[in-house]
Amino acid sequence: MTRADAQDLDARDPLAPLRDEFILEEGLIYLDGNSLGPLQKGVSERVAQAIAQEWGRDLISSWSKNGWFDLPRRIGEKIAPLVGAGPGQVVVADGTSINIFKVLAAALGMQPGRTRILSEPGNFPTDLYMVQGMTELLGSENCELVLAEEDGIAEAIDDTTALVILTQVNFRSGRVHDMAAITQAAHEKGALVCWDLCHSTGALPVDLDGCGADFAVGCGYKYLNGGPGAPAYIYVAERHQKSVIQPLSGWHGHAAPFDFDTEYRPADTVNRYLCGTQPVLSMLALEQSLEIWSRVDMADVRKKSVALCEMFIALVEARCADMGFALVSPRASDQRGSQVAFAHEAGYAIMQALIAARVVGDFRAPDVMRFGFTPLYTRYVDVWDAVDRLVTVLESKAYENADFQLRAAIT
């Protein structure tokens, strides 16, 4: 493949026009949308309008007049098609970690006598930390974290397992779990399942309803491009919504908040998984960012994602052969999300040198260089140019610069 071949692919790409809807500096190759999506055109104006008019002039009337109060459900319904959820099962609220806490408590309450939460050591740390926190709160006799290697999850489920909690797309390697198979295996043993979709939503087709999932959580700031710290979402299958009262029983989860009852009565809907007042400006930024997805077919997104990743792997392995790189991500595209990870003993320094060369990826300890491919704005020529700049960094040994050896707090 040549650079001209990459340009030809861009010319024939049905998603290519969408790049113009993102604010990206000329010459910058942004391959870190799996950590933070870029700003979309129209978002700044939407938030500014909300500040000037809805907050500035309409003031408290905006909770009704401008629909602020309904934002969690309204935005949840816009996310639902991206995760294969029918109406009334997704609500936008809080952060991923807090939503995991809600799910953990609900699952334990729904599964009396079962105390184990099953996950894998490679799961995203916050998922594991929240289970550990629940154990501290309830005691190990009531909540216990059990870890199994990713290939042995199904076999590790037993009659003590209350919940299996997994990130569908591994944050380091990009490996994809078989959601349908693991969910079925858990249900056959009487366990529930929660899927962390932070690296899935907007990156590949997801079918929560189709595979019978119980719960799911996800964030709004990666592939959904909702902005730094954008609100997260929680999916609760309709069949479970009235099963338990999740413990963060805040005012917005009440059946009738403006009755101001002294006793908590949970909503009969997914609203019972709400807690406190939503951050309106962040919600509005996320809602505006989601507008683009109404014009996107996830099959097209996935097709381009696979092609971008395959191209990147082939170019790195061809042009950087014998330079110390080892593919960490699965080679088979159906087992890989929308990111590619390579290990290198100088991975951190190489990534810093690449960023200085205006190719932005990120690093995950101990030695993984991670590159995210976001089909709405990543071009085929970006892949070609990124590898070209990588070759320059390696051949010039730019990464040996002392400044690139200093490990920052955020990698």
Contact predicate 165/100, CB 8 Å: yes
Contact predicate 252/274, CB 8 Å: yes
Options 22, 124, 363, 373, the catalytic residue: 124
- DSSP 3-state of 364: strand
Options 32, 127, 196, 214, the catalytic residue: 196
- Is 196 a known active-site residue? yes
Element (H, E) at 121: none
- Rounded Cα distance, 408 and 411, in Å: 6
Contact predicate 166/44, CB 8 Å: no
- Is 124 a known active-site residue? yes
- Rounded Cα distance, 173 and 369, in Å: 10
Q: What's the token pair of residue 14?
A: 């049905």
Residue type, 6: A
Options 22, 171, 215, 221, the catalytic residue: 221
Options 175, 370, 379, 389, the catalytic residue: 370
How far is CA 108 from its chain centroid?
24
Apex CA 330: angle with CA 350 and CA 205, to 5°? 110
- Is 370 a known active-site residue? yes
- Rounded Cα distance, 1 and 4, in Å: 8
Q: Tell me which DSSP letter residue 52 carries.
A: I
Residue type, 163: L
Q: Considering only the C-alpha atoms of the chain, give the largest distance between any 2 of them, rounded to a whole number of Å.
A: 69
Closest CA to 91 of 80, 102, 103: 80
CB atoms within 10 A of CB 121: 9
C-alpha distances out from residue 327 to 236, 317, 371, 398, Å: 36, 9, 12, 22
CB atoms within 10 A of CB 237: 19
**Cis status, amide bond into 366, omega within 30 of 0:** yes
Options 222, 272, 336, 389, the catalytic residue: 222
Active site residue ranges: 124, 196, 221-222, 370
